Amino acid sequence: MTSPRTASPPGVLRPAVQIAYFVSDIRSAAERMHRSFGAGPFYIIENIKLARAEHRGEPCLFVHSSAYGQWGSVMLELVQQDVEGPSPFRDLFPPGAQGLHHVATFVDDVDAAIETYANAGLPLATRAWTTSGTQFAFVDASATLGHMIELYVPDAGLKGFYDFIRDASIGWDGRDPVRTLGTG
């Protein structure tokens, strides 16, 4: 039986569109995920800098690199922190540790979703904006689920990126499993 304190109101847990692992080295993690589970191909974006980021209400740098690949029907992100400091990654993992960090979900409105999750006992950890203007947020579900939940609105650019990663996996022969897209 679920405790009333941990039960989520209807609509809070939405379908996952991405699973993300925090790792110390995205390239070796991508190779390992390919060898072990057939995931990929992975596309790396290094040193992703954001237009703005706030962690627990304070400005933060939150510079990171990510490898994006397909794992069945869901996108797989492998992410590493490139500049040390407060972040949603350090909330769960000290330097040298790694593991499941978040699942991502699409929402209609990031601010409304943050409020809904907060009312369900899942507080905002980080809010950030990419240099192209896409807003995303991490709500802290570590007390109940053991990981963060990433929220973002699926605008045309984001949907196009998800389609690109998925389409690259269709009919993929397993060669060239780690590819570089560039820097953020």
Q: For residue 183, what are the CA distances in angstroms to 49, 145, 172, 180?
A: 9, 32, 24, 9
Q: What is the pTM of this model?
A: 0.91
Q: Please list the residues that pair with 59 across neighbouring strands.
A: 54
Domain locations along the chain? 18-170
**% helix / strand / coil in the chain, to the nearest 5?**
20, 35, 40
For the chain, the residue count is 184
Three-state DSSP at 142 gives coil
pLDDT at 7: 41
CA distance 37 to 31: 10
Counting residues of the chain whose pLDDT is more than 70, the rounded percentage is 92
Q: How do residues 100-135 score in pLDDT, each as one tens digit?
A: 999 999 999 999 999 999 999 999 999 999 998 899
**CATH code that applies to domain 18-170:** 3.10.180.10
Better pLDDT: 182 or 102: 102
Q: How do residues 4-58 score in pLDDT, each as one tens digit?
A: 333 444 456 678 999 999 999 999 999 999 999 999 999 999 999 899 999 999 9
